[in-house]
């Protein structure tokens, strides 16, 4: 339980992003509130911010994926006219509102092998990428054995002025964290399961 508690604190105290574009834009910044777990960028203010999940208040509606057998992950994208669309997905999603709505409206990543919507600055294109933590110096991280922390996240951590990639498991994107995931809310086991403990040791 202690390990889980520590993981929980780590995951809410740090700013996380799976989009490389955003992680670099907002490198080494941190979010302290579990109510605002999403790393985001405010285009007008030109600053990095911590947002709550857009599907927690979709015009007053709080979406949840509890009890959606096989589709436990709360997911969002924005359509071509920048309207929010919330869904329950079979694979984890961790995206920013900035990339999804401001840079890539109408884009949606449906291939579980390429779940991360990212913006390629060089080509000015929106792309669906594989998760950066699936090829972390030859290592494929997974959170399938972390029942309370199903979400694989990447962020940058500053060490002596250099940015180092950190992969870690975080709490789900459910607003109500007061009750645990059901058995059937868990994602399928990952055959490439890797030991994950040492990623959290630096905290
Ligand atoms: C986007 O979603 C809104 C709200 O559901 C809808 O009214 C609009 O037609 C959609 N736009 C496109 C391009 O699908």
Query: Which atom of ligand 1 approaches the CA of 82 most closely?
Result: 1
CA–CA dist 149, 57 (Å, integer):
22
Probe target for ligand 1 pocket from 77, 78, 81, 105, with the most ligand atoms within 8 Å of CB: 81
What one-character-per-residue DSSP string does 147-172 give? TT--EEEEEEEEETTEEEEEEEEE--
Q: Is the CB of 83 under 6 A from ligand 1?
A: yes
**What global pTM score does this model have?**
0.76
Residues with Cβ < 8 Å from 169, sequence gap 6 or more? 7, 11, 143, 146, 149, 150, 151, 152, 153, 196
Which is the closest atom of ligand 1 to the Cα of 79? 1
**What does the domain layout of the chain look like in residue ranges?**
4-201
CA–CA dist 8, 117 (Å, integer): 25
CB of 198 closer than 6 A to ligand 1? no
**132 φ/ψ angles, rounded to the nearest 5 degrees:** -60, -25
Model pLDDT, residue 145: 83
Nearest Cα residue to 141 out of 126, 127, 128, 155: 155
pLDDT digits (tens, 9 = 90+) for 118-128: 988 889 999 99
Residue spans of alpha helices (H) in the chain: 2-13, 20-25, 97
b/e burial code for range 117-137 (CB count within 10 A of at least 16 → b)? bbbeeeeeebebbebbbbebe
DSSP letter assigned to residue 55: G
- Measured from the Cβ of residue 147, the count of other Cβ atoms closer than 10 Å reads 14
Distance of CA 83 from the midpoint of ligand 1 (Å): 6
Whether ligand 1 lies within 6 angstroms of the CB of 59 is answered as: no
Please work out whether the CB of residue 137 comes within 6 Å of at least one atom of ligand 1: no
**pLDDT under 70 in the chain at which residues?**
1-18, 28-32, 179-203
Q: Which atom from ligand 1 is nearest to the alpha carbon of 106? A: 13
Tell me the per-residue pLDDT of 9-41, one tens digit each, with 9 for 90 and over: 333 223 345 677 777 778 766 666 778 888 888
């Amino acid at each position: 339980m202690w390990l889980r508690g520590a993981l929980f604190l780590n995951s809410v105290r740090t700013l996380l992003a799976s989009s490389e574009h955003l992680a670099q834009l907002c490198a080494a910044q941190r979010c302290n509130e579990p109510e605002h777990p999403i790393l985001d960028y405010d285009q007008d203010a030109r600053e990095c911010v911590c947002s709550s999940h857009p599907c927690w208040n979709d015009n007053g509606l709080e979406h949840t994926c509890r009890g959606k057998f096989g589709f436990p992950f709360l997911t969002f994208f924005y359509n071509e006219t920048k309207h929010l669309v919330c869904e329950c997905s079979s694979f984890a999603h961790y995206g920013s509102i900035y990339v999804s709505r401001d840079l890539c409206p109408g884009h949606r990543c449906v291939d579980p092998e390429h779940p991360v919507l990212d913006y390629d600055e060089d080509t000015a294109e929106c792309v669906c990428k594989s998760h950066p933590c699936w090829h972390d110096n030859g290592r494929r991280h997974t959170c399938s054995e972390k029942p309370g922390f199903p979400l694989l996240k990447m962020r940058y951590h500053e060490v002596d002025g250099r940015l180092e990639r950190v992969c870690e498991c975080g709490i789900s994107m459910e607003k109500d964290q007061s009750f645990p995931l059901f058995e059937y809310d868990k994602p399928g086991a990952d055959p490439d399961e890797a030991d994950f403990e040492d990623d959290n040791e630096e905290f």
